[in-house]
Amino acid sequence: KTQVEQSPQSLVVRQGENCVLQCNYSVTPDNHLRWFKQDTGKGLVSLTVLVDQKDKTSNGRYSATLDKDAKHSTLHITATLLDDTATYICVVGDRGSALGRLHFGAGTQLIVIP
Amino acid sequence: EAAVTQSPRNKVTVTGGNVTLSCRQTNSHNYMYWYRQDTGHGLRLIHYSYGAGNLQIGDVPDGYKATRTTQEDFFLLLELASPSQTSLYFCASSPGNSDYTFGSGTRLLVI
């Protein structure tokens, strides 16, 4: 059973537009949530990690929120660039140590067009 | 700079073939992991290790063996490759907290 659901599956935006990616999960416990960017054929690069019950983070044009009560997270990308074209993956960790498990979403494929 | 290096980047083998995927980390991390990524699925854990000589079974271990020869090196072995093992394989390392460093992946095609 999929414990991390991401939406939309894919998204096309024009360069300069903003977009929002969603992540809903049922993982328990939910120690932390991390967003990764995966360029085609490349590894996963961490964008941000959220830890608190209601958390917000900001990393340049990327900002994210987490609501553990709702088991929901969003990733906002502001003023998209062509280089933002990638798959964005939501990952929930059930512990704060490597003894825990990571639960991966299938990703949202973002395509930024000129 | 801390890094996880996987080799080969791409591999093609025939059904029943023998394949070894290599992973080396220079992070001095104790924990190393092998995942597979398939379309429509999140990454799934195959095997992992707490240190040299240690091996733990992940969530999708069938058809795979692994060996951690040193702190730096973690190998994934497919002794009788099947088409269902066609996938993108990722190695990762962790110091033992919630931080993970991923390699760039090995794309395996079993024909």
Minimum-distance CB partner of A43 among B90, B96, B98:
B90
Tokens of A16: 């300069």
Tell me which of B43, B90, B104 to substitute to probe the interface with A (most A C-beta atoms closer than 10 Å).
Answer: B43
Strand partners for A107: none
Are residues A91 and A105 in contact, defined by beta-carbon separation less than 8 angstroms?
yes
Residues of chain B found within 8 Å of residue A97, distances taken between Cβ atoms = 96-98
| pLDDT tier, B1 (very low <50, low <70, confident <90, very high otherwise) | low
Task: Count chain A–chain B contacts defined by CB atoms under 8 A.
Answer: 54
Residues of chain A found within 8 Å of residue B44, distances taken between Cβ atoms = 104
Phi and psi angles of residue A82, each rounded to the nearest 5 degrees, phi first: -60, -35
Tokens of B62: 């069938």
The amino acid at residue A13 is V
Minimum-distance CB partner of A44 among B94, B98, B102:
B102
**Per-residue model confidence as pLDDT tens digits over B79-90:** 999 999 999 999
pLDDT reading at B18 higher than 60 = yes
Are residues A34 and A91 in contact, defined by beta-carbon separation less than 8 angstroms?
yes
Interface check for B107 against chain A (CB to CB < 8 A): the answer is yes
Are residues B105 and B6 in contact, defined by beta-carbon separation less than 8 angstroms?
yes
| pLDDT tier, B40 (very low <50, low <70, confident <90, very high otherwise) | confident
- Average pLDDT, stretch B52-68? 95
- Average pLDDT, stretch B56-70? 96
**Whole-number Å distance between alpha carbons of B82 and B79:** 9
pLDDT reading at B15 higher than 70 = yes
pLDDT of residue B109: 97
**Whole-number Å distance between alpha carbons of A80 and A83:** 8
Are residues A10 and A108 in contact, defined by beta-carbon separation less than 8 angstroms?
yes
Between chains, do A44 and B42 touch, taking CB under 8 Å as contact?
no
Tokens of B70: 């040193």
Interface of A with B (CB under 8 A): 2, 4, 31-32, 34, 36, 41-46, 49, 89, 91, 93, 95-98, 100-107
**Per-residue model confidence as pLDDT tens digits over A70-89:** 999 999 999 999 999 999 99
- Average pLDDT, stretch B32-43? 93
Average pLDDT of chain A is 94
Between chains, do B42 and A42 touch, taking CB under 8 Å as contact?
no
The amino acid at residue B96 is G
Strand partners for B75: B22, B67
Interface check for B104 against chain A (CB to CB < 8 A): the answer is yes
